[in-house]
Amino acid sequence: RHMEVYVSRFPGHGMPGAVVVVNDTTEIRQAERMRQDFVANASHELKTPLAVIKSSVEALIDGASEDPDILAAFLEQVAREADRLADLIKDMLSLSKIESGSLALEPRVVVLDRAITDCVERHHPRAETKTLTMVEKPPSDAPANVAAWADPDALRQVMDNLVDNAIKYTPNGGRITVRWGATTETVSFEVEDTGIGIPETDVNRVFERFYRVDKARGRAEGSTGLGLSIVKHLVQAMRGQVRVNSKLGKGTTFRVTLPRAGSA
């Protein structure tokens, strides 16, 4: 632990004794280190696509643009990396807004199965391009209109991120199942995939900022390493929890629990 100790006497008052102030600065130092890490990671993440853009453009200036096929390939690469920069900046801004507490969440009644159906429908086109089967599984005794007490936009962002990852990290022909359920106090939903899974040593770290299990693969898939950290913050801000369970080579399940509307 880091302590700062200040000792001040009472000079000139002719009084005996002194005041001793002990400050535990461990947390302040930790916060400062996290901030420095974030800036270092963020700069690194932003530099990589910029370097690719710069080298592509330089190759074009040096004459690569004379061949129409090469020209097209380089321009596509520039566009792709520009998209990546935009994604990174968007995610960093969301994260910094959430962490600084300046994102005002407005919880209200959100009917769960409707939110899930909407999310599954939004992702169908992408799942189809990978021939993934996507199914929604309500509980067998599905009660009508089960609702979460949640901010609708934040909940949507959480679901989108989890389903997006499931699609990204599941090879062609796989299956994604979205289940949900409720207790008297809480509602929960699960996104299960039959994808590549996460090694045991990494599974507890996936919610960390910029953490990727496989940097090279992640980059190719257009990943920022920020999605799950945003998910965790948003879920916690809504007084919920998110958990992950994974088996390498078999698949991954993310489970989110939120307060049930009307249970408070």
Residue 212 vs 260, nearer CB to ligand ADP: 212
Of 173, 190, 178, the C-alpha closest to 121 is 178
The window from 77-85, 145-153, 181-189, 196-204 that contacts ligand ADP (CB under 6 A) reads 196-204
**Joined tokens for residue 137:** 């599984």
Token pair 């209200």 in the structure block, residue: 108
Cα distance between residue 167 and residue 36, in whole Å: 33
Instruction: State the nearest-atom distance from the C-beta of 223 to ligand ADP, in Å.
Output: 3
* Angle, in degrees to the nearest 10, between helices 227-237 and 152-168: 150
Q: How far apart are CA 101 and CA 97, in angstroms?
A: 6
3-state DSSP call for residue 149?
strand
Segment interacting with ligand ADP (CB under 6 A) among 41-49, 104-112, 130-138, 220-228: 220-228
- Under rule CB under 6 A, residue 224 binds ligand ADP: yes
Residue 226 or 238: which CB sits closer to ligand ADP?
Answer: 226
Q: Among residues 225, 222, 139, 231, which one has the least CA distance to residue 177?
A: 139
Q: Residue 150, interface with ligand ADP (CB under 6 A)?
A: no
* Residue 160 CB burial class (10 angstroms; 0-12, 13-18, ≥19): middle
Contact between 49 and ligand ADP by CB under 6 A: the answer reads no
Binders of ligand ADP among residues 233 to 252 (CB under 6 A) are 252
Q: Which is nearer to ligand ADP, 180 or 254 (CB)?
A: 254
Residue 179 and residue 192 in contact, taking contact as beta carbons nearer than 8 Å: yes
Which of 227, 240, 242, 256 touches ligand ADP by CB under 6 A?
A: 227
Q: Nearest to residue 210, comparing CAs of 91, 65, 103?
A: 91
Site residues (CB under 6 A) for ligand ADP, limited to 75-114:
none
> Least distance to ligand ADP from the beta carbon of 29, Å?
26
Give whichever of 47 and 250 is closer to ligand ADP, judged by the CB atom: 250
Cβ proximity to ligand ADP: between 46 and 57 the closer is 46
187 touches ligand ADP by CB under 6 A: no
Q: How many CA atoms lie within 13 A of 97 on its CB side?
A: 12
Q: Does 166 bind ligand ADP (CB under 6 A)?
A: yes
Residues lying near ligand ADP in the complex (CB under 6 A): 165-166, 169, 193, 195-198, 206, 211-214, 218, 223-229, 252
